[in-house]
Amino acid sequence: MVATVVESESAGAEAYAEAFDAAVAADERIEPRDWMPGDYRATLVRQMAQHAHSEIIGMQPEANWITRAPSLRRKAILMAKVQDEAGHGLYLYSATETLGASRDDLLDKLHSGRQKYSSIFNYPTLTWADVGAIGWLVDGAAITNQVPLCRCSYGPYARAMVRICKEESFHQRQGYELLLALSRGTDAQHAMAQDAVDRWWWPSLMMFGPPDDESAHSARSMAWKIKRHSNDELRQRFVDICVPQAEALGLTLPDPDLRWNEERGHHDFGPIDWEEFREVLRGNGPCNDQRITQRRQAHEEGAWVREAAAAYAAKHTDRLHGEATA
């Protein structure tokens, strides 16, 4: 009897696995209540949580410039952008919760260094031009990476990415427009724009992750259609997009090896300093300590807001419950 139950259970599990594989092969979406392999769930939680953490940590470098924006127009744009990033974090934490993750647990893992956020946010914003360089390059890299995620096999992540990408597109354009204004401004403004691009270019290329032959998760994530392209493919796409944009901006990219390769139909580019990337991931980037300290502090200072919101929600639920039983 026991053997029969075990057999039928394993036949059931196989049928679920087959249904999952068939849905992925047919480009259908996997939804929260669908059966999914444990590793698929874990991979999504890992990637989506890191993505959410990147959005909220990513508010810090630019927020540094809100009080010093050079005009009311620039200040309004920057405030809207930084608020969008908080919103992206919220969509992504919510999407992660559909996989059974708890937001408190994810934040705890961020604060204790057990989950990562993007390497790019560990670099400092030294001048106003950095706001432009972040918009053009960092948001540009983010869009290149994230547009394919709109076709991710997991429904809630894919749908969150549609809205995020629309907002990232505005972010990228505001950065480009800001840099264009500086590039066409005084000599000092042009030099400031060039300096920012010089500092942000290589870290932006690192955002796409390690080279394909060192990317631990790519092959499986691509088989599951979480990722649609490899890290190197997207990095190459980004370089190809940026070269003509830099020309239009009147700025140069800090890479003497950058040139069009007719045979490949792509730009060749110089070697990336992967040791720098690994150091940043180990916590030794220029701003790692500052970013995490500020995040923990913001979380502690926000405790009263979370308590008040929870108390209000409980009161509301009690009231509804009372009405239902009256």
Q: Which helix (H) or strand (E) is 266 found in, with range? A: strand 266-268
Give bridge partners of residue 278 from the DSSP assignment. none
- Binding positions for ligand FAQ, 276-305, rule CB under 6 A: 281
Rounded to a whole number of angstroms, the minimum distance from the CB of residue 323 to ligand FAQ is 42
The region, left, alpha or beta by phi > 0 then psi within -120 to 50, assigned to residue 286 is: alpha
Rounded to a whole number of angstroms, the minimum distance from the CB of residue 256 to ligand FAQ is 24
| Residue placing its CB nearer to ligand FAQ in the complex, 6 or 219 | 219
Rounded to a whole number of angstroms, the minimum distance from the CB of residue 145 to ligand FAQ is 5
**DSSP assignment, residue 227?**
S
| Residue placing its CB nearer to ligand FAQ in the complex, 134 or 160 | 134
Q: Does 145 bind ligand FAQ (CB under 6 A)?
A: yes
The closest alpha carbon to 56, from 283, 287, 280, 299, belongs to 299
Cβ–Cβ under 8 Å, residues 62 and 46: no
Rounded to a whole number of angstroms, the minimum distance from the CB of residue 222 to ligand FAQ is 9
| Residue placing its CB nearer to ligand FAQ in the complex, 20 or 136 | 136
CA 310, CA 64: separation in Å to the nearest integer? Answer: 30
Rounded to a whole number of angstroms, the minimum distance from the CB of residue 138 to ligand FAQ is 5
CA 153, CA 149: separation in Å to the nearest integer? Answer: 9
Residues in the chain: 326
Tell me which residue has tokens 């594989």: 21
Binding mask 37-66 for ligand FAQ (x = CB under 6 A): ---------xx--xx--xx--x--------
Cβ–Cβ under 8 Å, residues 145 and 229: no
Encoded tokens for 183: 């590039």
Q: Does 207 bind ligand FAQ (CB under 6 A)?
A: yes
Name the residue with the smallest CB distance to ligand FAQ: 58
Cβ–Cβ under 8 Å, residues 229 and 148: yes
CA 183, CA 185: separation in Å to the nearest integer? Answer: 5
Which one of residues 36, 85, 156, 229 is an interface residue with ligand FAQ (CB under 6 A)? 85
Stretch that binds ligand FAQ, among 19-27, 137-145, 187-195, 237-245 (CB under 6 A): 137-145
Rounded to a whole number of angstroms, the minimum distance from the CB of residue 246 to ligand FAQ is 19
Q: Which residues bind ligand FAQ (CB under 6 A)?
A: 46-47, 50-51, 54-55, 58, 85, 116, 118-119, 134, 138-139, 142, 145-146, 206-210, 215-218, 221, 227, 231, 281
